[in-house]
Amino acid sequence: SLREGEQGSKAARARQRKEEEERERERRIGETRAKAGPSLREEELKRLSAALAPHELRLHEIAADGHCLYRSIAHQLAAGDEASALDFRHCRRLAAEYIRSHADDFLPFLLAEHEFSDGLLESYCSQVELSSEWGGQLEITAIAHASRRCIAVHSADAPLLLTGAEYEGNGPRLQLAYHRHYYGLGEHYNALVPAD
């Protein structure tokens, strides 16, 4: 009927108008980005890529969910065929257990960040093991010693950081990338894999 044809063409014109508005919006966003120059993330990635090139490494993207350090290490352990069933929970447990069993080595660092209390160490270890709180150098140190593996952390703005260098002969390094500006939320870890 004529009425249906009019309605169909009205809907088609509305869709076309909406598509044109969206294209115009995307064009304006692109112009704004081009004028703004590279983002902190883009600049950091460029410097990191240059630092990784001599090592023939590239990024392997890891989810940004609070478990990125542990997921990156689990990825590296599985890549070395150590037990592909390893996951981030195993790495969290490994770190917590090592910190608990070597309290004297870790307590001074915890006291630098936290008020002393009788349950400080256990509370911290429970958080490492059971939460999605991100990990850092203390946890890297614990996992390196617990797994008896060298962990290499590459970043755009610092020299290569080796933790557990005494374990170099126990298998390939666990290669991580540390980012300060990868996501708007802040720091992030990715795994590294051989460049193709």
156 vs 48: CA distance, rounded Å: 4
Query: 37: alpha, beta or left, given left = phi > 0 and alpha = psi -120 to 50?
Result: left
**Catalytic residue chosen out of the listed positions 55, 60, 65, 125:** 65
Whether residue 65 lies in the annotated active site: yes
Q: Which of 91, 102, 188, 196 is catalytic?
A: 188
- Annotated catalytic residue within 67, 68, 75, 154: 68
**CA within 13 Å, CB half, 155:** 14
In the three-class reduction of DSSP (H, G, I as helix; E, B as strand; rest coil), residue 189 is classed as strand
Q: Is 188 a catalytic residue?
A: yes
**What is the residue-wise DSSP string for 111-149?**
HHHS---TTHHHHHHHHHHHS-PPP-HHHHHHHHHHHT-
68 is catalytic: yes
Q: DSSP character for 103?
A: H
**Residue 48 near residue 154, CB atoms below 8 Å:** yes
Whether the CB-CB separation of 139 and 128 falls below 8 Å is answered with yes
Residues assigned a catalytic role? 65, 68, 188
